[in-house]
Amino acid sequence: MRAARRLGCLFLMVFILASCGGNPAQKKKRYLRRGEEALKQGDYRRAEVNFRRALQIDPRLAPAYYGLGVVYFKEGRIPRAYGALVRAVEISPDLLPARILLGRIFLLVRKPDKALAEAEYVLSKDPARSEAKLLKAAALLGLRKYDRARPLLEALCGEREVSACLMLADLNLRTGRKSEAERVLRRVLEFRPGQPRATLLLARILEGEGKYSQAEALYRSLYEAHPDDFQYLEGLVRFYQRRRDLTRAIRVLRDGLARGAGGERAYLLLAQVYALAGEEGQVKKTLEEGCRRFPQSFPLLERLVLYSFERGSRGEAYRLLEAYISRVDKDSLKIRARLLKATLLWREGRLREALREVDGVLEDSPHLVSAHLLKGDILFRRGDYTGAIGEYRAALGEEPQNPGIMLRLARAHLLNREPDLAEDMYRRVLEVSPENREAYLGLAEVYVQEGNPGKARALLEERWKKDPGDLIVVEKLVDLYLQEKDRAAARRLLEKTLALNPRHPLVLTVLARIVRKAGLTREMIAYCRKLSLRDPRPFYLLLLAQLYGETGDYARAIALYRRVLEKNPRNLVAANNLAFYLAQYQPTPRNLAEAERLLLPWVRKYPRRTELVDTLAWIKYRKGDYTGARALLEKLGDKVRDYPVVSYHLGAVYYQLGERSRALVYLRLALEKGREFAGREEARRLLAELEKNP
């Protein structure tokens, strides 16, 4: 009897085990299969759960690691994808799909040499695999080995591999072979009519060749074939925008919105086009209409808030934010709105309130990178570099490969008199982004601060050899040569730079600024005078006027600007510069009236052009209309921060209006990067006075 019971219990246990899923080998296969099915369906969450369950049973199941790598790659979690794929190929070196995806990740993080190694390995095992050939070609392109990439792409394109054809067309464009690129694209469209990327590239080529009607037909065909895809609506609108046909751009967007195309992004683009057309009233109406239609949309709300804020309606901007915070459902949207409020408070110079707001955000979202960065920026502006370093480090902990955060942190260490830490951080930037110019310049500054200008010079000379046309590096090198009293080296560098582009307007404009430091302004004036005698274009007269201004000969500069306007009264640069010179250097009542008369038509036509609005504001400042100057400059929004002279002007306006805390913010901003601008000495005097008596 007991034996029968034991036998019955044994059968029951077997039955229970069988019903619980069978043996581990079967279970892991089932989880793996479910993960792969979920992956095909785009259900990444379910796929991840099943792949992880399979790995709990068998921690060395390489296909499950590969599956996780695909999930993370699709979701944009690149570091995690990398880790899973590395583990997959460690366990199973011949898992070729994992190696191909790993190679694609290496391309994304700009390590084409490693991508090439993965491609070569796959091809050694499977020489006919087209994915590996494509990866190899892409890696060779990344290494700029165009001669090796071209035959690979041509062979694949001959097999009607669309991706290879598109890469080949792009390579032809990159190497100046437009006709060959056009031929390749037309061939793609023969065997794959309407292929979006080929159509778009061909449209851009035709537009560049001035074949506007053909280009328009292609842009329109894409939009009509994909009416619900915003990128093609945007492509057609941008084409009209480049053609300065804003009426058609507006019509296309309005038609698209009437059909329900584009959603909130179409409203944002329409507002932008209205702004370019100078229809300010329509900008606000469009944004308000979009917010009513998409009440949860943060991008639309953000644009409307900034529109109000930048036009002086600051109370309205904050009311819009509070209303949005109270109506939206998602906490993530509330946090974004609160962070925008903190940013606006910071821009107003209300630093304590801004810090209080951003601290509240961080209490709810302690890992939010943008909040840590904003708090760091606020503390940096206050001169609390230690506090800023703490916030930047917290942000870097969340995004350890972000070069932008590293650059902020390096700068804060440098100003906190920690050159060793700054140097380490700049070197980390170069590991992630080897050609990062700002990291090179920062390292050079570290070496100078450590009393080793020779090392800085060698570093920047190395960088200059890689890109002799980089005028920012040229300017920094000239500064170093002059610090070492090596005027001959400075002169040689300027001559080499000029020889590369002896008549290029941008090069000449930048060189005109640099030569003053090298004491070669007179030579540059003589060179430009010869050019102006041979070439009647107004550019050389404008450049001469700038150079005379650099030497302090403002009367001659003003006379040259008048000459340009006599030949062409519609020359915007001459009108703006003449108005600024009159306001800055000859601010008599008559000259200020003339300057305002010159500039008002241009500001009405281009109300968002920073240099025009700034000049008009400075004219008002010189006339004593500080409130009018403030209204104009505040409308520029964040653009004020991009130009030291504009930051100085707004700081001076706040000073005159008695808003000393705001004046401090903008005067420090104007002077912090050490760039020259008209009025720099006055800005330093005002800042010193405010810091002495805040």
Q: Is the pLDDT of residue 501 over 80?
A: no
Total residue count of the chain as it appears in this document: 694
Quick one: three-class SS letters along 11-41? HHHHHHHHHCCCCHHHHHHHHHHHHHHHHHC
Task: Give the pLDDT score at 509.
Answer: 66
- pLDDT (0 to 100) of residue 76: 87
Weakest-pLDDT range from 118-127, 262-271, 431-440:
431-440
Residue range 237-247: average pLDDT?
Answer: 93
For tokens 């390749």, the residue is 184
pLDDT band of 506, cuts 50, 70, 90: low
The predicted pLDDT at position 658 comes to 93
For the chain, the structural domain boundaries read 595-694
Give the confidence band of 532 by pLDDT, cuts at 50, 70, 90. confident
Tokens in use for 310? Answer: 């930048």
Distance CA 28, CA 521 (A): 77
- Highest mean predicted confidence (pLDDT) among 474-478, 504-508, 596-600: 596-600
Superfamily per CATH, domain 595-694: Tetratricopeptide repeat domain (1.25.40.10)
Specify the pLDDT at position 15. 35
Find the DSSP H helices in 92-129: 96-108, 112-125
Q: Quick one: what percent of the chain has pLDDT higher than 70?
A: 94
pTM score, whole prediction: 0.68
Cβ-count burial 178-212 (b if 16+ within 10 Å, e if not):
eeebbebbebbbeeeeebbbbbbbbbbbbbeeeee
Evaluate if residue 394 carries a pLDDT over 70.
yes
Structure tokens at 519: 């004491």
Q: How far separated are the first and last CA of the chain, in Å rounded? A: 99
pLDDT for residue 541: 85
For residue 291, what are the CA distances in angstroms to 32, 160, 294, 296, 313? 45, 46, 5, 8, 18
Q: Which residue has the tokens 């065997």?
A: 191
| 398 C-beta neighbours (distance < 10 Å), count | 13
Residue-wise pLDDT tens digits, 362-372 = 999 999 999 99
The whole-number pLDDT of residue 530 equals 79
pLDDT digits (tens, 9 = 90+) for 15-38: 333 444 558 888 889 999 999 999
